Amino acid sequence: MKPLLSVRDLSVTFDVRRPGSWPWTPPRKLHAVSDVSFDIQPGECLGIVGESGSGKSTIARAVVGTIPSSAGNIMFEGHDLANMSTSERRVHRRDVQMIFQDPLAALNPRMTVGEIIAEPLITHEPHTPRKDVKKRVGALMERVGLLPNLINRYPHEFSGGQCQRIGIARALILNPKLIICDEPVSALDVSVQAQVINLLMELQRDMGLSMIFIAHDLSVVKHISDRTLVLYLGRVMETADSHKLTTLPEHPYSQALIASVPIPDPILEKARPRPILKGELPSPLAPPSGCVFRTRCPKAQASCAQARPVLEDIGGNHLVACPFHQAEHVLAVGT
């Protein structure tokens, strides 16, 4: 089966000028994403995790097409995003939609809920009769758990969880093939997070959606995603089946991320090993030589500064970018 989305050696850099520098001074390069590759099959959910500043949202925006890639290829249904014509790019905008982190900030406060959800439909299908637009909006509101009689209310009249449901409805109105969820539950209460996650899983199953789910919380990613990709400073550290990665992580960074997720059992929580990362995330303006994680890695050796480790398949499509990897059994995240 051909992948719906294929990303190969994606790199994204930004020019950053020093404050007060002369106009002819060469800008510094901020390396947001470097040599990231992955595939997404139809109906599959890929989880992307990592600290703030690891490049998760940059990948999402490059796939959507709102920022250009500096190197590499993004293929959607066999079409290169960089070489798409105007008509092909318009179709791409229909087929790839985003759900954003801040549900209230993502909605126009001067538009009603009905207008917000219908906006993509009116933009891409302007000849759709108004009666049909209202009918589709009402049906979709019911599908995401909102009462249709709220169609004329404004975003400030809703809770955070309801606003995120509005954002989900807006993303689904065009029946896209790929949904990119950029930390969609990080701003919500824990109980509301579970409701939104379950809703997304139901929608993915019923509509056959493919999904990229970006988050900090590995317990959430494990629950919703089929595979998980771990990012650090714009580079892939490890990628594997979500269950395998959260129970037998190989990379030291993955082990530290999993250990940071609390277990709702005080005895097990106290007994398990807790590798703690020391130091701060290095600046993407001056990433470390060799392995970018070496400055915080407990297993780092002198050779780690000499060459960047390549992703090695250790079996079962489990890729690890560390020559000193070692599986460590950990308590399953979210148990």
Query: Helix, strand, or coil here: 35?
Result: strand
pLDDT, position 273: 67
| Strands ordered across the beta sheet of 71-76 | 28-40, 5-16, 71-76, 79-80
How high is the pLDDT of residue 188?
A: 85
Whether residue 279 has pLDDT greater than 70 = yes
Provide mean pLDDT across the span 86-107.
Answer: 89
**Measuring CA to CA, how many Å separate 216 from each of 48, 107, 155, 198, 263?**
8, 23, 26, 18, 16
* pLDDT tens figures, 174-194: 999 999 999 998 888 888 988
Nearest to 58 by CA among 235, 249, 238, 295: 235
Cα distances (Å, whole numbers) of residue 278 to 126, 268, 275: 54, 24, 9
Kindly tell me the sign of the dihedral angle through the C-alpha atoms of 105, 108, 110, 111: negative
Q: HSE on the CB side for 129, CA within 13 Å? A: 3
pLDDT digits (tens, 9 = 90+) for 127-167: 999 999 999 999 999 999 999 999 999 999 999 999 999 99
> Which of 116, 111, 159 shows the shortest CA–CA distance to 140?
116
**Residue 39 tokens, joined:** 């595939």
Residue 13 pLDDT level (bands cut at 50, 70, 90): very high
Q: pLDDT tens digit string along 209-241?
A: 999 999 987 878 888 999 999 999 999 999 999
3-state class (DSSP) for residue 200: helix
Taking 60 as the threshold, does the pLDDT of residue 74 lie above it?
A: yes
With a cut of 90, say whether residue 197 has pLDDT above it.
yes
- CB-neighbour burial class of residue 81 (10 A; exposed 0-12, middle 13-18, buried 19+): buried
The domains located in the chain, with CATH, are 5-14+30-280+290-320 (3.40.50.300)
Q: Which region holds residue 292: left if phi is over 0, alpha if psi is between -120 and 50, else beta?
A: alpha
Q: What percent of the chain has pLDDT over 90?
A: 57
Specify the pTM: 0.90
Instruction: Report phi then psi at 299, rounded to 5.
Output: -105, 10
Q: What is the DSSP secondary structure assignment for residue 28, as one 8-state letter?
A: E
